A and B are shown apart, each in its own frame.
Chain A
Amino acid sequence: QEQLVQSGAEVQRPGASVKVSCKASGYRFTAYYIHWVRQAPGQGLEWMGLINPGRGGSDIAQKFQGRVTLTRDTSISTTYLEVKRLRSDDTALYYCVREYHYEGDEYAFDMWGRGTMVAVSS
């Protein structure tokens, strides 16, 4: 069964860092990019970045550059999102998402983790 399993909820103080994990199973880990998308309470979906699990290269949204790092460990089919210097407006549900490559050169987010809630509060 193909799935993405994320780590549990976190509560952090402003200025701290958080590292969220996303373990893939049921498919070849290196075959598809993993993206990270967040949704703040009452807000829409926001793309944060992606990692190529095969080569390890990443692309981070400009808004998050310098604060967000994406890494992976191929030995355990796991990707990681680290957010530094947390602020209260980083409070959100963070999703890891697989981007599938369909025939006809189309792409879409076909599989989502269940989300990891990160609350930032003093």
Chain B
Amino acid sequence: DIQMTQSPASLSASVGDRVTITCRASQSIGSRLSWYQVKAGKVPKLLTYGASNLEGGVPSRFRGSGFGTDFTLTISSLQPDDFATYYCQQSYNFPRTFGHGTKVEVK
């Protein structure tokens, strides 16, 4: 199975901050990487797919990048609605695997 390692596990930030979350795959997955936002009581939301493609309706402050084993999700200017937990997930093969999540908290 492909292991997905996210860092940091949590971070504290303020509205307006630039936030970067990293995800490393245990083997090369090309561009087969998606990012999701999860909030308590809400359905998980797809942010980006194919490493860098923004899902329709997702604000442009979210940007995914990377290829192979190393990927990042950047939020260019953190908004109040962005405090949540973020997960990466590989779709290179089965089983599909997720990172352990990065919780973005209010500083």
A-B contact pairs, 11 of them (CB 8 A): A35-B96, A44-B87, A44-B98, A47-B97, A47-B98, A62-B95, A106-B49, A108-B89, A110-B49, A112-B43, A113-B43
Residue of B nearest to A101 (CB): B91
Q: How far is the CA of A74 from the CA of B95 in the complex (A)?
A: 24
Residue in A35, A50, A108 whose beta carbon sits within 8 Å of that of B46 in the complex: A108
Q: Is B27 an interface residue (CB 8 A)?
A: no
Residues of A within 8 A of B46 (CB): 108-110
Q: Which residues in B have some Cβ–Cβ distance to A below 8 Å?
A: 31-32, 34, 36, 38, 43-44, 46, 49-50, 53, 55, 87, 89, 91, 94-101
Given contacts A44-B98, A45-B98, contact A108 B43 (CB under 8 A): no
The answer to whether A106 and B96 touch (CB under 8 A), given A44-B87, A45-B44, A112-B44, is no
Give Cα A86 to B40, complex, Å.
Answer: 25
CB distance from A120 to the nearest CB of B (A): 21
Q: Contact between A106 and B53 (Cβ–Cβ < 8 Å)?
A: yes
Q: Name A's interface SS.
A: strand
Chain B residues with Cβ below 8 Å from A113 are 43
Residues of A within 8 A of B43 (CB): 95, 112-115
